[in-house]
Amino acid sequence: AGLCLREYCYSIAFIAHKREIRSSSSTFLLGKNQIKTELKMTLAESFTGGALIGVSAAILLLFSGEIMGASGIVNSILLHPLKGLRDPAQHWKLVFTASFLLASFIFLAPRFENFEHVVEKKSSLSYVLGGLFVGYGTKLANGCTSGHGICGLGRFSVRSFSAVLTFMASAVLTTCLTRKDSIWQGSQDSILSSVIQTYVVETAGVFNGLIALAALVAPFFHEKKCDESSAKVLPGLVTGVLFASGLFLSGMTDPTKVTGFLDVMGISEGTWDPSLMAVMASGVLISFLSYQLIDGKHQLGVVRRYSLDHPIALRRNSKFKIPTSSSIDQDLLIGAGAFGVGWGVAGLCPAPAVFMAAAGVPQVLLLWWPAYCAGALVAGGLKKV
């Protein structure tokens, strides 16, 4: 299994390493002026990466009955670590996170070229405020680009549609407002010393190892035995690897690519990169198809006779844990708006930030994540009031 995992991750890394930026000429009609722009696109890689993300969400849903919401999983591990060890219902989240981190750190991240080029485009303030707003927003809105985006849109959730429209609008607006301001750009103001940066990769490796160790020993700390929890371990393991691979291949782990997509003002300048639309399209499509296999969730009559009334890996009396709320409340809209602001400022949402932290990127590990935790704690406190 270990050899298969290694070869799989190496093949994904090889594809991305040999990625060629394709330039295609596109003509846009803006008013009476036709502007010819050269768009740097990686549509094939983005579509394939998005498909892997969709497949990972489908596996977790169909086999374990769980939703692959990155922010929810991360919040469970970071904000409630003892519960993650003691509660058997949380064990699959530890396994998912461990497999994601190890696949990122050992196989994928070493092939992610030129991290310095990626992070130098944003200032320290961008990472701090970006993490703060993303942590606050995802906790308040109960979701991000994976939970509300890939999974929510795939099941036609009105609540998720509202969240996606809100955070996309605020992310685009934020990116356009900050695109030329020097306070948000460049790494010359970095508050991280070179001495600290030298040890960040080693620190990331230790942290990744600790999470993996926690996933291994957690069953010994469980307060009660749960067969259902054990059945979710393998889907969680596979899903973590696939999710990391999809993010890596799609380009979602590159903040400059994300901001290139969000910066719609770049259309007139020839700098807009629409390739991340392929990530969402393929991911949502596969997510949608997975829901068609669940009893009561299908929209296509042709698969109704093959529908599942319980997750494949679990017992017959087990249920799919699919959110049913259609409420569009204040917390959802404010949280989604805040998440969009943070996403637009730093170009990072939770899952790619986990990838970059696992790889030992200093700005993400030491600035973005502490700010994220602070924002999530504030939002969690407000929700209890």
Q: Which two structure tokens, joined as six digits, stand for 218?
A: 């957690």
The pLDDT of residue 32 is: 33
Report the C-alpha gap between 91 and 52 in whole angstroms: 23
The pLDDT of residue 23 is: 35
Q: Kindly provide the residue ranges of all beta strands, DSSP E only, lying in the chain, ordered along the sequence.
A: 22-30, 33-41
The pLDDT of residue 57 is: 96
Of 108, 72, 354, 95, nearest to 235 (Cα)? 95
The pLDDT of residue 205 is: 81
Task: Find where tokens 């990626």 sit.
Answer: 118
The pLDDT of residue 344 is: 93
Task: Find where tokens 């607006």 sit.
Answer: 173
Mean confidence (pLDDT) of the chain: 82
Please identify every stretch of the chain with a pLDDT value under 50, giving residue numbers as ranges. Answer: 10, 13, 16-40, 188-189
The pLDDT of residue 34 is: 35
- Give the count of beta carbons closer than 10 Å to the beta carbon of residue 241: 23
CA separation (Å) from 303 to 141, 299, 324?
A: 32, 9, 22
Query: How many CA atoms within 13 Å lie on the side-chain side of 9?
Result: 26
